[in-house]
Structure 1
Amino acid sequence: MNKNKAVLLMLAIAMSGCADRPTAVTPATPPTDAAVSPPGVQPEMDASTRSKLREILALRAGWPAAQPHGRTVDLISREFLGTPYLANRLIGSQSTPEQLVIDFRGLDCFTYIDYVEALSTAHSEGEFVQHLVDIRYVDGKIAFPQRKHFFTDWAQRPHQVAEDITAQLSPHAVTLVKTLNRKADGSSYLPGLPVVQRSVTYIPSDNVDNKVLAQLRTGDYIGIYTNLDGLDVTHTGIFVMTDSGPVLRNASSRKANMRVVDSPFMDYVMATPGIVVLRSLSR
């Protein structure tokens, strides 16, 4: 691996903690319309992914129409438990045309929640694809600059996927203005994308107490806040209340896991700076 590729790989890992960001070598030219997939494009799917998609849609067809969204997210997300963790699943960069990737054979933390949320409201393959495009891309335009690269994009950029409820959960929530995509040295994490100032609210881990837990719902999306300049979170997962207690269901890159697992929620959170909580608008 050459030096440039190695540096970009390390930046990609830092961007999410689960390496869902692009790692292509970056040229000097900005993205153009050539990097945009034509409207109505249908992604290629391997046989395994298509089979699993149809299996999940068949299961979903048998669930009550009035079933709470959180329960649906729980049931869908558990279908991926044990799926291998694989980094850098998406294709696209400043120079590489964006492709709509749908691949269930390996997941990182961000593609995992992308797929689960898209499946939670889909009743057909076509609906799933369209919902995924709307979740992953601003205004449903398949292009690298329009991809929602940051967790809080889900609550900030159209089509809006979720509401940021972090501030509602605790009087100890902290709001900081972060300059997303700009590192401490002034360079960009993702060349070709703008720097964006955004107020990011998180609950410090020491303040994630029983009162906060009581307000979380199964199906809430959790971002692990980071103190790093230019980033909002370094990992994502799904809050699920199980018979054994609350868990963070996540595509884990930890060496002991390297797959989708249920991590004890409080144990996980206490080892981090804090959490950002998004609640799906599909509820």
Structure 2
Amino acid sequence: MFEMERETRMKAVKAGQAGKAVKAQSHKKFLFVIALTAFTAFTALTASPAFKIPSEQEISDMIELLRKEAPKNVAHRIEVISARFIGMRYVLGPLGEEVRGEFDRDPLIRFDAADCTTFIETVMALALARNKREVVPMLTKIRYKDGVISYQTRNHFVSVDWVPNNKQAGLIEDITEEFAGDGVRWAEKVISKRQWYLVKTEEILDKENVNGFGKKLSPRKRQALVAKWQALGKDIPDEPARLAYAPVALLKEKAKKIPSGAVFNLVRVQDYPVVIVSHQGLIIQKAGQTVVRHASSVNGVVEDMPLEEYLAKYETSKYPALGMNINVVQEVQEAKKVQSTGR
């Protein structure tokens, strides 16, 4: 789903991580109200006691209010919207391609659970949408190359999919070089989607489908589906990835200069298995403190953590953090406004 560059997914897959293509414009048929109510049918999970799942009306009101308060300040909208989800439960791989998906039939959108990447994507979609009808189309534009909904076109890898495709769509700007100046460093690795697909298993099928879709199939159909899944990468050439990052020491030194609402991609040492980035989150400046706001697999919820405390966690890790790639979310230009699904 996203560089499935997430540490927990890496532990499950080890050797790597990323359907039958859904028509390019199929997302227009997914009305926000349908998607919002649909997610409840896909999970029996409950949110943290401190977190109340927002209703459709609350989502609509929040977008409308923030558009009036800060029509040209997407960073502020990100701050407010992301704060609303503090306490939301962490669930790995909670989103998919709905009932039209071939390999992952989790809902397109949900507000009761997220992992590190889907948290970022959902917040971005809510912050960039002008009304509730634009939320699902905006989310698909963020999550999928050219907004085409399919497992193959999902932005699975942060370094070669998520960052470049969202830059091309005009949704983010990579400011790492500008922020780090002469201190900028570069992480490089060859990404093998072919190998990532090859290691797909029935176990991973079940992990991808939080809703239990894979377990409902007969053993024969499960095996056939996994074989088809594994074959998706056979013609995909290996791709060199190169990502700028600000080193940990520089991040600590210039923490207060990181724009609030920026998206960070945590870059790990070069021998980290398969990928460059293991985690995504937001940088928030509040009350004179720089904090990481992220969906934490360790603590099981969306939380705030002081940046220095967050970085310190990796000092004794087998795969220490090298630094962060930093991106700011861009206001959607009128010419590129996502089409509404409303009637």
The TM-score by the shorter chain falls in which range? Answer: 0.7 to 0.9
Q: 2:307 aligns with which of 265, 276, 282?
A: 265
Instruction: Give 4+ residue runs of structure 1 displaced > 4 Å after superposition.
Output: 34-37, 47-51, 97-100
| Cα pair 1:18 1:109 within 8 Å, conserved | no
**How far, CA to CA, are the matches of 1:231 and 1:173 in structure 2?**
19
Cα distance, 1:51 vs structure 2: 4.9
1:216/1:244 CA distance change after superposition, 3 Å: closer
| Aligned counterparts, 1:1-283, within 5 A | 15-17=5-7, 19=9, 31-33=19-21, 38-42=26-30, 44-46=35-37, 51-63=54-66, 64-66=69-71, 68-91=73-96, 96=103, 101-152=108-159, 153-157=161-165, 158-170=168-180, 171-181=182-192, 187-188=195-196, 191=230, 192-193=232-233, 194=236, 195-210=238-253, 212-227=254-269, 228-243=272-287, 245-254=289-298, 257-270=299-312, 271=314, 272-282=321-331
Cα distance, 1:60 vs structure 2: 3.1
Q: Which has the higher helix share?
A: 2
For structure 2, the residue ranges without an aligned partner over 5 or more in a row are 14-18, 41-52, 201-229, 315-320, 333-343
Name the amino acid aligned to 2:157. Answer: F
**How far, CA to CA, are the matches of 2:55 and 2:63 in structure 1?**
12
Cα distance, 1:205 vs structure 2: 1.2
1:151/1:15 CA distance change after superposition, 3 Å: closer
With the length of structure 1 as denominator, give the TM-score of the two structures: 0.79
With the length of structure 2 as denominator, give the TM-score of the two structures: 0.66
Instruction: Count how many residue pairs are aligned between Structure 1 and Structure 2.
Output: 259
SS of match in other structure, 1:145: coil
**How far, CA to CA, are the matches of 2:116 and 2:261 in structure 1?**
15
**How far, CA to CA, are the matches of 1:76 and 1:117 in structure 2?**
9
Percentage identity across aligned positions?
Answer: 23
| Cα pair 2:4 2:158 within 8 Å, conserved | no
**How far, CA to CA, are the matches of 1:76 and 1:279 in structure 2?**
16
Please identify the structure whose Cα radius of gyration is greater.
2
Cα-to-partner distance string for 1:161-212 (whole Å, 9 max, x where unaligned): 2111112212222113322246xxx9326753433222111122133233x3
1:225/1:156 CA distance change after superposition, 3 Å: same
| Cα pair 1:219 1:240 within 8 Å, conserved | yes
For structure 1, the residue ranges without an aligned partner over 5 or more in a row are 1-11, 24-30
1:79/1:132 CA distance change after superposition, 3 Å: same
SS of match in other structure, 1:206: helix
Cα-to-partner distance string for 1:13-66 (whole Å, 9 max, x where unaligned): 97313549x98xxxxxxx544687835221533378795343133023223144
1:90/1:268 CA distance change after superposition, 3 Å: same
**How far, CA to CA, are the matches of 1:236 and 1:226 in structure 2?**
12
**How far, CA to CA, are the matches of 1:177 and 1:246 in structure 2?**
28
1:249/1:51 CA distance change after superposition, 3 Å: closer
SS of match in other structure, 2:245: strand
State the Cα RMSD in Å.
3.3
**How far, CA to CA, are the matches of 2:309 and 2:173 in structure 1?**
25
Q: Which has the higher contact order (CA 8 A, sep 6+)?
A: 2
1:197/1:243 CA distance change after superposition, 3 Å: same
**How far, CA to CA, are the matches of 1:52 and 1:243 in structure 2?**
29
